[in-house]
A and B are shown apart, each in its own frame.
Chain A
């Protein structure tokens, strides 16, 4: 019996028991689509992060205080540096010719108030370069003053949400508000760009880095963002950064330099792992479908005993009878997988077109894995019933 005939024969047998076949088909279809839909959520998150990163431009380096290295003892924690990074360190980095922008950042929370309205928010102390490095623009007013690194000018730029919360309907431009112990004048409003790597820029105030040093009473930088003139300068630039910091920090380059690629690949690894485990959980539904295949196959074997006996008397061997039953589950699995694929891809498509903000994407590997898995399940769970069919005694079956 050749393969095409096998498929035809199985198809005819399945078509005869329409309800039963539909049930199995549904079970497999739902199994496949639950794997695809659940992994599409994870994959969507991964793509979202990737997109966020690429919005930052690929020429960015991040300098963190403290060196992360593996030694004999417990791994050191983030930022356990004996020496802080300072604004002066950041200024020194400007001497490196391959660096185009240097944005030192001091970050902290403080309460911001306008008359009776008050909020606790994140204050970002930085300079003008920050706007270039992170692609920020002001919707109204000006950017930070040129001398943000030298003078503690009492001015601030507000995120859209914060401005609305504090000033309601009146224009905040030129108004004074209180941050911590000091008074600041609003000189600009950030253009809404949504979230950026989890920081809600809408709900934030940006002040000159020197003002932040005064506000938080500490010269320690949270980090320095650097933008390179060209991507391929990265290795060279890292060496130079370490050299300059070592000069300034008693011969020790106690900093960590992270490139955007490194962060992105770390994120990617984590999210792919999480997505794969979600997919594995969803695959349990495929095993449930497998058990249904087994039950239905057993019923089918006992109902088709006469036919099996007949096939044997017509010259079908036990092996061929087994093949007939296994292929019949594979046929129904193909249809079920196809139904699952169509269902989940169209669902994702519908969601993408109607709610473009929800990041969803079915990863190619989960598509392959789900189909592969459903066929493995079909093979495994139809094996026992198929063996039972192969063992049918033709004499007894034909007598009945």
Chain B
């Protein structure tokens, strides 16, 4: 099963020093994600789900353990090489959108292509096509301050999708949105998932989390449940799960 996995994590550990107490953000994590899966990652604050997301997104480095992304070992890569992988395979969607306020919607979406060195004309075409697909065709030249929350998040999703990544990492994508905008955004994410993109949503929102085909639950740096795991799952998970 590891052969067709795009993400292959084993024995991953991460400890943060918080005051005098070491905080085990990730403990012996094992996780395989296949192309096209729809996962949700839930758990209380401080359970390590954001840390795991950052690990998958190559923004953070584990203390120990292995992480293969598209069959490539990432532990020994330089910062430059990791940035390149990130650009190639990963798209981030953030709770607070993180759009650059001085840039228009179009320019924000173009940004990853600009960093990748794509020519202005071609990236403008791609970005405006994608924004139109997301129903923002009339807002290309508007600045973030002129857009509503739902529109902002759609721009954020467009920015994540523009590089055609294999996996979309969404950290509380509906956290700052009202009910209907949230629904809109969820629909868009799921639509792209159905088209083949791997989607990992980190959320507190149980309703949102329950929509995913595969649901992960984290507590204290440990994945305590994983609906996608085969029945004959390895023991440590259950042991750790029951102990928490």
Spell out A's residues near B (CB within 8 Å): 1-2, 4-5, 9, 12-13, 15-16, 306-307, 309-320, 394-395, 398-399
Q: Nearest-CB distance from A158 to chain B (Å)?
A: 75
> Which of these, A13, A309, A315, A394, contacts B115 with CB under 8 Å?
A315
Docked-complex contact B83 and A316, CB < 8 angstroms: yes
Tell me which residues across on chain B come within 8 A of A4, comparing CB atoms: 120
Docked-complex contact B115 and A313, CB < 8 angstroms: no
Tell me which residues across on chain A come within 8 A of B98, comparing CB atoms: 306, 309-310, 398
> Which of these, B59, B88, B159, contacts A312 with CB under 8 Å?
B59
Docked-complex contact A1 and B102, CB < 8 angstroms: no
Complex CA gap A12/B101 in Å reads 11
Docked-complex contact A312 and B83, CB < 8 angstroms: yes
Complex CA gap A307/B90 in Å reads 18
Convert B87-100 into 0s and 1s, putting 1 for each residue whose CB lies closer than 8 angstroms to a CB of A: 11010101000101
The answer to whether residues A315 and B59 also contact, given A398-B94, A398-B98 and a CB cut-off of 8 A, is no
Docked-complex contact B114 and A1, CB < 8 angstroms: yes
The answer to whether residues A313 and B86 also contact, given A5-B114, A5-B120, A398-B94 and a CB cut-off of 8 A, is yes
Complex CA gap A310/B111 in Å reads 10
Tell me which residues across on chain A come within 8 A of B92, comparing CB atoms: 313-314
Tell me which residues across on chain A come within 8 A of B54, comparing CB atoms: 395
> Which of these, B83, B111, B163, contacts A317 with CB under 8 Å?
B83
Q: Nearest-CB distance from A4 to chain B (Å)?
A: 8
Tell me which residues across on chain B come within 8 A of A320, comparing CB atoms: 83, 115
For A307, give the chain B residue with the smallest CB separation: B100
Docked-complex contact A313 and B57, CB < 8 angstroms: yes
Spell out B's residues near A (CB within 8 Å): 50, 54, 57, 59-60, 79-80, 82-84, 86-88, 90, 92, 94, 98, 100-103, 107, 111-112, 114-117, 120, 159, 163
Tell me which residues across on chain B come within 8 A of A399, comparing CB atoms: 50
10 A-B pairs in the complex with CB atoms less than 8 angstroms apart: A311-B115, A313-B92, A314-B115, A315-B112, A316-B115, A317-B80, A317-B82, A318-B80, A320-B115, A395-B50
The answer to whether residues A315 and B116 also contact, given A16-B102, A310-B100 and a CB cut-off of 8 A, is yes
Q: Nearest-CB distance from B23 to chain A (Å)?
A: 14
Tell me which residues across on chain B come within 8 A of A2, comparing CB atoms: 117
Docked-complex contact A314 and B60, CB < 8 angstroms: no
> Which of these, B57, B79, B86, contacts A318 with CB under 8 Å?
B79
Docked-complex contact A12 and B59, CB < 8 angstroms: no
Complex CA gap A307/B79 in Å reads 18
Known: A12-B102, A317-B79. 20 other contacts (CB 8 A): A2-B117, A4-B120, A9-B114, A16-B102, A307-B100, A309-B98, A312-B83, A313-B57, A313-B86, A314-B87, A314-B112, A314-B159, A315-B116, A316-B83, A316-B115, A318-B79, A318-B80, A318-B83, A320-B115, A394-B59
Tell me which residues across on chain B come within 8 A of A318, comparing CB atoms: 79-80, 83
Tell me which residues across on chain A come within 8 A of B84, comparing CB atoms: 315, 317
Tell me which residues across on chain B come within 8 A of A395, comparing CB atoms: 50, 54, 59-60
Minimum-distance CB pairs A-B, first 6: A315-B87, A317-B83, A16-B102, A317-B80, A314-B112, A315-B86
Tell me which residues across on chain A come within 8 A of B90, comparing CB atoms: 315
Tell me which residues across on chain B come within 8 A of A16, comparing CB atoms: 101-102
Tell me which residues across on chain B come within 8 A of A15, comparing CB atoms: 102
For A6, give the chain B residue with the smallest CB separation: B114
Residue among B88, B111, B112, B117 with max Cβ neighbours from chain A (10 Å):
B111
For A390, give the chain B residue with the smallest CB separation: B79
Docked-complex contact A315 and B102, CB < 8 angstroms: no
Q: Nearest-CB distance from A328 to chain B (Å)?
A: 13
For B86, give the chain A residue with the smallest CB separation: A315
Complex CA gap A317/B98 in Å reads 18
Tell me which residues across on chain A come within 8 A of B100, comparing CB atoms: 307, 310
Complex CA gap A18/B59 in Å reads 33
Complex CA gap A306/B87 in Å reads 18
Complex CA gap A306/B101 in Å reads 11
Tell me which residues across on chain A come within 8 A of B107, comparing CB atoms: 12
Complex CA gap A310/B98 in Å reads 7
Q: Nearest-CB distance from A19 to chain B (Å)?
A: 15
Docked-complex contact A12 and B103, CB < 8 angstroms: yes
